[in-house]
Amino acid sequence: MSTEVLFQVQLVLGYVTWLLCFGAYGLPWLNSMDGVAAQRAIATLHSFRFFGLVFILPGVVGPDLPAGFAVFAAYGDFATGVLAMLVLLMVRIPRLFWPLVVAFNLVGTVDLIAAYYHAIQLGLPAHAEQLGAAYAIPIIYVPLLMITHIAAFYLLVRAGKKRDLQQVIP
């Protein structure tokens, strides 16, 4: 099997596995919490996205990893991680907490979508070996990150609808 096919198969299986796990354990757990606690749990996971800086660390990734991918992915992850940490720090200040929840999820989702776009444009799947030790990030970590961003938006929309219903129904 070619490097490109192996990478794509593993990426799809990463999503399948995390969706099965998240559906069985993650979403029921988040649904059992109040909105603040659920968003804190998601932000806690994403606060580790500073790890994405590994894409620009010489010796961890191959020297031929496209710079257009590496730099954008590294700093997009870093920005998302910092925003997630701010969410955790502002939990007691709702007027800052909720906008930061939205901001970190928007920035994080755009970062992941843009990283996929850059990876495709630069032919990264065919040269996935250049990811070196960071290979596990797109295969194992990124699917969970994307799934939890979607869950965060779902929980925000659900909370908004619930709030709207409470205003209509006495």
* Average confidence (pLDDT) over 106-125: 95
- Lowest-pLDDT choice from 31-35, 55-59, 87-91: 55-59
- Confidence bin at 6 (pLDDT 50/70/90): very high
Quote the pLDDT of residue 67: 80
In a domain, 131, yes or no: yes
Residue 131 has pLDDT above 60, yes or no: yes
Contact of 147 with 17, CB cutoff 8 Å: no
In a domain, 39, yes or no: yes
Quote the pLDDT of residue 55: 93
In a domain, 27, yes or no: yes
Task: Report pTM.
Answer: 0.91
In a domain, 59, yes or no: no
In a domain, 60, yes or no: no
Percentage of the residues of the chain whose pLDDT score is greater than 90 = 85
Quote the pLDDT of residue 130: 92
- Alpha helices (H) in 3-93, listed in sequence order: 3-21, 27-31, 35-46, 67-89
CA atoms within 13 A on the CB side of 32: 5
Quote the pLDDT of residue 161: 66
**Taking phi first (over 0 means left), then psi (-120 to 50 degrees means alpha), and beta for anything else, what does residue 132 get?**
left
Quote the pLDDT of residue 167: 52
- Confidence bin at 64 (pLDDT 50/70/90): confident
Phi, psi of 92 (to 5 degrees): -90, 0
Q: How many residues does the chain have?
A: 170
Residue 35 has pLDDT above 90, yes or no: yes
In a domain, 103, yes or no: yes
- Confidence bin at 159 (pLDDT 50/70/90): confident
The domain total for the chain is: 1
Quote the pLDDT of residue 68: 84
Please give the residue range of the domain that contains residue 90: 3-54+65-168
In a domain, 9, yes or no: yes
pLDDT in tens, 70-110: 999 999 999 999 999 999 999 999 999 999 999 999 999 99
CA atoms within 13 A on the CB side of 75: 5
Separation between Cα atoms, residue 133 and residue 54, nearest integer Å: 9
Mean pLDDT of the chain: 92
